Structure 1
Amino acid sequence: MRSFRDTLNWLPKRRKRFARTGFAESTLAELAWQRTRSAASRWGGWGVLAGVLYGLVAFAPAGWLARSVASATDSRLLLTEARGTVWNGSAVLVLTGGPGSRDASALPGRFAWDLGLRGAGLELKLRQACCLNGEVAVRIRPGFGRMQIELVPPGTAQAGGAVAQWPAAWLAGLGTPWNTLQLGGVLKLATPGFTLESAQGRWHMSGQADLLLLGASSRLSTLDTLGSYRLSLVGAASPSAATQINLSTLDGGLQLNGAGQWTAGKVRFRGDARAAPGSEAALNNLLNIIGRRQGALSLISIG
């Protein structure tokens, strides 16, 4: 049997072992609680960061979009007096001659937009009372190494009617030679819809678009009206085929004609300008500016 002395010696050891076990359990519980608190803090931090990022995206000021447009166009198209957000805002559209230019021309009224998600891409809805015939949609579908931009005209223009119109005088904001020509008349964009697609840095167009200059005039001519003209872009079904460019005269004393191609991001165009019989004297100065004179012709060459 265990003696009384042995019993006394045994009891402290048991108490120490019990004490050690209780302390360990308490320590493990505290460590677990600290880990839980640390994890909660991390998740809380990520939540705050996500909230901040969402706020930046959802309420990004319209000025950010204005700076992006200016950068992409080398400051030739500006969104001034921008209000709202990137997703829903308005601004005044201004054409300029680029950095350092003193030329600038603004459209009347405000240009408004709504940008939202559509499928795997974005849809940009555009409105402007002076210049857009209803709401014009631009659908943007990004992809790996490619980008697709589709213009969807309002329902009233599905048959190829006018989608937009601008005063020709707006072009004077671009500087030379438009500020010298001081064009009058109306520019119209007519299309049933078209698509621009970029692959490996090369743009391709499918569909058709017509840019018309109606009732054109210029301070360089004594004629009240120079005429009306159509510039047509006709896309091809194959990405490797060129977009055809055709310039024709609808009416008027100044006769413009030409043809060319847009392929691999480059434009090649050859055309000429001439005066209709009886308009030679009134158009002589203008013909000297339009292109290189060759007798009665003024030759136009791009690319």
Structure 2
Amino acid sequence: MDGLVARLATGTAHPRGFDFHLRFAANRHGQNQRYAKQRKRPMNKWSWMLLIAAYLCVLIVTAPASLLSRIIDHASNGRAELANTRGTLWRGSANPVLHQRGGGPITLATLHWNIATLALFSGKLNAQLQWDDEAQSAPMDIIVSPGQIELRRAYLPLSALLLDEASDFLKPAQLRGQIIFKSDSLIITEQGVQGTAAADWLNASSLLSSIAPLGNYHFTFSSSSAGVDIALNTTSGALQLAGQGHFSTATGLAFKGTAQAASGKEEALRELLGHLGPEERPGVNTFTLVPARGR
């Protein structure tokens, strides 16, 4: 009995049990440290991933408008770009520039755009376009989805220099003026175009005539199963134009029309009429437009 009391007093009672408790406590402490390290590692990894994602979001949101110009230049094979870009990729302004085949650039009015970022998550690009200093009643909507482009309230102020692109036959006439293209709704797919549109050629002129302006003209475009039907009529002016034609991606442009001078303007328009085509009947010349040759 005295020996047991002595061992308790010296702490030597049950040495094996005491040693077991020490080892158990040490093992548990080591396991807790390992668990803590394992829990820290994935948190660090996720933190880096979130930081990188946030940085990429900032880069995308603040991407300059000049990036859109590079995208358009690449998509059009160098036929179009944006000049004087301001703002960001998502909300900005610029002057669209169209490059003619073998000719100089055509710079259009300032265009403002606003791209809806949320629509991108549904696989669509939805943008509103507004021109500066133009009689545009409401912003134009453009909706791009896989295999389809939809235009709503389309409004495009263009230069008559683009008529040179329609046919090489028109290039020597060096036609001038402004063309306003409008459409309530157009859908463009790989199969063709759906919808109707109109264009007004205002203050038309030509270097082959001293009369300026020659007149104002109206085009209508109607989609069909085979392509787009085109009609031309004169609104007013010394040069009277009329014609009909057709355009398809397979065959290009085929258009036939007539041209004649208003009473008293025959002499001033003689050179231009002679260039447009042969005289079919007294005072009436015919002209035919065929697709312009590629580069």
The TM-score range, normalised by the shorter chain, is 0.7 to 0.9
Counterparts in 2 of 1:130 and 1:180: CA distance versus 1, 3 Å:
farther
What TM-score, normalized by structure 2, do the two folds share?
0.75
Secondary structure at the aligned position of 1:220 is classed as coil
Question: Are residue 152 (structure 1) and residue 153 (structure 2) matched?
Answer: yes
Question: Are 1:214 and 2:216 counterparts?
Answer: no
Q: How does 1:130-169 map to 2 (within 5 A)?
A: 130-142=133-145, 145-152=146-153, 163-166=155-158, 168=160
What is the CA–CA distance in structure 2 between the aligned matches of 1:195 and 1:233, rounded to whole Å? 11
- The residue number in structure 2 matching 1:159 is none
Distance 1:84 1:186, change over 3 A: same
Q: CA deviation at 1:76?
A: 2.7
Does 1:270 pair with 2:255?
yes
Partner in structure 1 of residue 111 of structure 2: 111
Three-state SS of the structure 1 residue aligned to 2:269 is helix
Runs of 4+ in 1 over 6 A off after TM superposition: 7-10, 170-174, 176-179
1:231 aligned partner: 219
5+ residue gaps in structure 1?
154-162
- What is the SS of the residue equivalent to 1:61? coil
Post-superposition CA distance 1:96-120 (Å, at most 9, x none): 236xx66123235x32111114764
Match of 1:157 in 2: none
Residue 130 of structure 2 contacts residue 140 of structure 2 at CA under 8 Å; is this kept in 1? no
Q: 1:71 to 1:300 in 2, by over 3 A?
A: same
Distance 2:163 2:135 in 1: 17
In structure 2, the CA distance between the partners of 1:22 and 1:102, relative to structure 1 (3 Å rule), is farther
Task: Answer whether contact 2:260 2:273 (CA < 8 A) is retained.
Answer: no
1:1-303 equivalences under 5 Å are 11-97=14-100, 103-108=104-109, 110-117=110-117, 120=122, 121-142=124-145, 145-152=146-153, 163-166=155-158, 168=160, 180-191=172-183, 193-198=184-189, 201-206=190-195, 208-235=196-223, 241-250=225-234, 251=236, 252-262=238-248, 267-276=252-261, 279=266, 282-284=269-271, 288=275, 296-302=285-291
TM-score of the aligned structures, taking structure 1 as reference length: 0.73
Deviation at 1:135, TM superposition (A): 3.8
Identity of aligned residues (%): 18
Distance 1:38 1:55, change over 3 A: same
Say if 1:283 and 1:116 are closer, same or farther in 2 by CA, change over 3 A. farther
CA distance 1:79–1:195, change in 2 (3 Å): same
* CA deviations over 1:165-218 (Å, ceiling 9, x no partner): 4453687899x7777544333312233x112242xx434322x11012123111
SS in 2 for 1:54: helix
Which one has the largest radius of gyration?
A: 2
C-alpha change, 1:107 and 1:261, in structure 2 (3 Å) is closer
Letter matched to residue 267 of structure 1: G
Q: CA separation in 1, counterparts of 2:144 and 2:95?
A: 26
**24 and 302 in structure 1: CA distance in 2 versus 1, 3 angstrom threshold:** same
Partner SS for 1:14: helix
RMSD: 3.8
